């Protein structure tokens, strides 16, 4: 918990954060859409990329492209060094104990599937239980349903309040001798709720149960220290944190990863292969079969470097201010209801508007150059919980401004006018 004193310091530091300068780093933000300046408020779906990331990937293809590992020629060595250097950057970024605990995957979805398949294969038996929450993205529901159905295990769901906060008392009661794993989102993509994952991990560990955290919506907005959290697995995607698509990270504690069977078989994940016996490679390569997304890894490393150059507390203070401004401005729109009003939130504002379906809002806002997402946000159980088919969602990144919130509000009034 931050104290009042902390917040005052952050605000003072926040003044040094220059959002105009940050915006210049993202070339796409200069675009016009339908003749209007682009107002990009779909960051929870994917973030835009700074020039530094685009340049790093171009440079890789222009100067270093080659396949990694086992190559004796110069380019292969350069490519391997760039790829492995990215792994170390990511290790430091989340404060993992070793680069061997950093597994490159395609994204958060593959990270969850890897753990569900590999950890589940060893640890889930008939009657066992996995705890997830009522606000999970489909990617942290369906992999567990698949493995549970296969092994005769079941899911237990942590309920949430009308504000979109998890019920920790109910959570504690879900544990039994059959609980094998907890898998929860750090931040809800549909509601913006920041879950008290450190406390939830502590509770699970008291019961001897390991915890996977889906950090896809957290890493772009706050420092994450996996050792401080003491999570057993942490997964996230590169493309939501200003890196490229198709690359993401599974962090796992070494002793857990070492005890898990491989997820996919192929090249690079073995030490030796004969038809009689195959010996698997060491971490992290055991889980990285086949030629990986090398340029993606390099790009993600560049995104980590980019974030490292940003004044973090200032960026966080700025994002909080944009959220506060947006929440207050949208509250002034007649007939608008915000879905997800947790006390701790990132910059996500999901809303519904009387008499106008989210899809129509989305189309009309697009005409004004404003990009938001409409629909169920791959979180249908969240929609069911609130008794709505869909929401309109504006989600902010560190480059968004209060002027863009003003444009959003004007766009919503435009939608109301079209339908009046």
Interface residue list for other proteins (CB under 8 A): 356-360, 363-364, 367, 374-376, 383, 389-390, 418-419
Q: Which is nearer to other proteins, 241 or 390 (CB)?
A: 390
Q: Which is nearer to other proteins, 99 or 375 (CB)?
A: 375
Which of 326, 313, 242, 325 lies closest to 16, judged by CA?
313
Q: Would you call 231 a catalytic residue per the annotation? A: no
Residue 414 dihedral angles phi and psi, to the nearest 5°: -60, -45
Contact 250, 105 (CB under 8 A): yes
Q: Which is nearer to other proteins, 182 or 382 (CB)?
A: 382
Q: Which residues contact 247 (CB under 8 A, 6 or more apart)?
A: 104, 105, 106, 107, 237, 238, 239, 293, 296, 297, 299, 300
Cα(41)–Cα(373) distance, integer angstroms: 8
Catalytic residue among 88, 142, 256, 378: 378
Residue 231 dihedral angles phi and psi, to the nearest 5°: -70, 155
**Measured from the CB of residue 419, what is the shortest distance to other proteins in angstroms?**
7
**Measured from the CB of residue 161, what is the shortest distance to other proteins in angstroms?**
23
Q: Which is nearer to other proteins, 123 or 357 (CB)?
A: 357
Q: Which residues contact 346 (CB under 8 A, 6 or more apart)?
A: 187, 192, 194, 217, 218, 221, 222, 319, 323
**b/e map 141-172, b = 16+ CB within 10 Å:** bbbbbebbeebebbebbbebeeebbbeeeebe
**Measured from the CB of residue 415, what is the shortest distance to other proteins in angstroms?**
10
**Measured from the CB of residue 91, what is the shortest distance to other proteins in angstroms?**
38
Contact 124, 135 (CB under 8 A): no
**Measured from the CB of residue 216, what is the shortest distance to other proteins in angstroms?**
20
Strand partners, 154: 129
Residue 233 dihedral angles phi and psi, to the nearest 5°: -135, 145
Strands 129-133 and 179-185: parallel
**Measured from the CB of residue 163, what is the shortest distance to other proteins in angstroms?**
22
Q: Which is nearer to other proteins, 180 or 373 (CB)?
A: 373
Cα(17)–Cα(321) distance, integer angstroms: 12
| Tokens 């189309």 found at | 363
Q: Which is nearer to other proteins, 42 or 101 (CB)?
A: 42
What residues act catalytically?
378
């Amino acid at each position: 918990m931050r104290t009042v004193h902390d917040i005052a310091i952050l605000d003072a530091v926040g003044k040094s954060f220059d959002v105009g300068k940050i915006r210049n780093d993202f070339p796409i933000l200069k675009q016009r859409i339908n003749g209007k300046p682009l107002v990009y408020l779909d960051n929870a779906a994917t973030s835009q990329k700074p020039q530094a990331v685009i340049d790093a990937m171009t440079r890789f293809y222009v100067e270093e492209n080659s396949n990694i590992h086992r190559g004796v020629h110069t380019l292969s060595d350069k490519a391997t060094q760039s790829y492995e250097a990215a792994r170390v950057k990511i290790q430091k970024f989340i404060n993992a104990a070793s680069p061997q605990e950093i597994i490159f995957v395609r994204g958060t979805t593959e990270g969850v599937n890897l753990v569900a398949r590999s950890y589940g294969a060893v640890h889930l038996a008939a009657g066992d239980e996995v705890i997830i929450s009522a606000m999970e993205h489909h990617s942290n529901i369906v992999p567990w349903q698949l493995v549970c159905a296969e092994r005769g295990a079941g899911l237990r769901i942590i309920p949430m309040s009308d504000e979109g906060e998890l019920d920790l008392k109910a959570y504690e009661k879900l544990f039994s001798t059959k609980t094998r794993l907890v898998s929860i989102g750090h931040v809800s993509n549909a509601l913006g709720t920041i879950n008290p994952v450190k406390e939830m991990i502590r509770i699970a560990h008291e019961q001897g149960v390991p915890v996977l955290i889906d950090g896809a919506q957290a890493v772009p907005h706050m420092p994450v220290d996996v050792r401080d959290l003491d999570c057993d697995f942490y997964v996230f995607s590169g493309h939501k944190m200003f890196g490229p698509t198709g690359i993401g990270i599974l962090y796992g504690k070494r002793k857990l990863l070492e005890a898990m069977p491989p997820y996919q078989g192929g090249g690079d994940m073995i030490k030796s292969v004969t038809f009689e016996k195959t010996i698997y490679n060491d971490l992290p390569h055991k889980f990285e079969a086949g030629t990986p997304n090398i340029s993606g890894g390099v790009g993600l490393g560049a995104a980590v470097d980019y974030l490292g150059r940003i004044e973090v507390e200032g960026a966080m203070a700025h994002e909080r201010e944009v959220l506060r401004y947006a929440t207050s401005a949208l509250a002034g729109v007649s007939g608008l209801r915000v879905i997800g009003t947790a006390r701790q939130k990132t910059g996500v504002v999901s809303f519904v508007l009387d008499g106008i379906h989210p899809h129509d809002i989305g189309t009309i806002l697009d005409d004004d150059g404003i990009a938001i997402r409409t629909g169920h946000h791959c979180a249908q159980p969240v929609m069911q919980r609130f008794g709505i088919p869909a929401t309109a969602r504006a989600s902010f990144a560190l480059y968004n401004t209060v002027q863009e919130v003003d444009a959003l509000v004007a766009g919503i009034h435009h939608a109301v006018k079209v339908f009046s």
